[in-house]
Structure 1
Amino acid sequence: MRPATDHLPTTLWMVDDIPSRMVFAGRRWKVTDTPTRLRHSIWSGSPESNNRLCGWRFQGTDDNGLSLVFDVFREEDGWHVHRSYD
């Protein structure tokens, strides 16, 4: 997987308000490191929102053992993957 160019939707589960697992690109991912809150990051949201969007960066590992790093953020319609890194 290469860096995403679109803000792709994802389903993210939290434990104590910290990401623990997600479903993205048809795969289940388990968070396998300590997630970092991206408080000062700004991504463009919908044109009418003009909000600062905060998110998380974490490593996720799928059922086959593939690990990627994800940057995710939340908008009104749910969580989105901003980027994924090999």
Structure 2
Amino acid sequence: MKLVNDIPARMIYNGRRWRVTDTPTRLRESVWSVPLEHHHGLYGWRFQATDPAGESIVFDVYRAEDDWHVHRAYA
């Protein structure tokens, strides 16, 4: 995922390029459905992104030790 000023701007998901097309919302630990003892300090973002064909999806993404991961995608 590419951040601009520490805010998501674009990413690759499922082999497609996505551009963030709304104002991302910061997500904190309390919203994740994962065991927090394994993910202390987990944070992420929720945002709508649009691909070049015009399809838009809302994504919940989180930062793990190695990279960003899509937790959930809402079509």
More helix by percentage:
2
TM-score by length of 2: 0.87
In structure 2, do the counterparts of structure 1 residues 51 and 22 end up closer, same or farther at CA, with 3 Å as the change threshold? same
Is 1:81 matched up with 2:66? no
Structure 1 partner of 2:49:
60
Instruction: Pick 1 or 2: higher relative contact order, CA cutoff 8 A, min separation 6.
Output: 1
Q: 1:71–1:84: 8 Å Cα contact kept in structure 2?
A: yes
| Displacement after TM superposition at 1:50 (Å) | 4.1
2:32 matched to which residue of 1? Answer: 42
Equivalent position amino acid for 2:32 in 1: I
SS of structure 1 residue aligned to 2:31: coil
Figure out how many residues of one structure are paired with residues of the other and give that number.
73
Structure 1 runs of 4+ with >4 Å offset: none
State the Cα distance separating 1:21 from its structure 2 match: 0.3
What is the SS of the residue equivalent to 1:51? coil
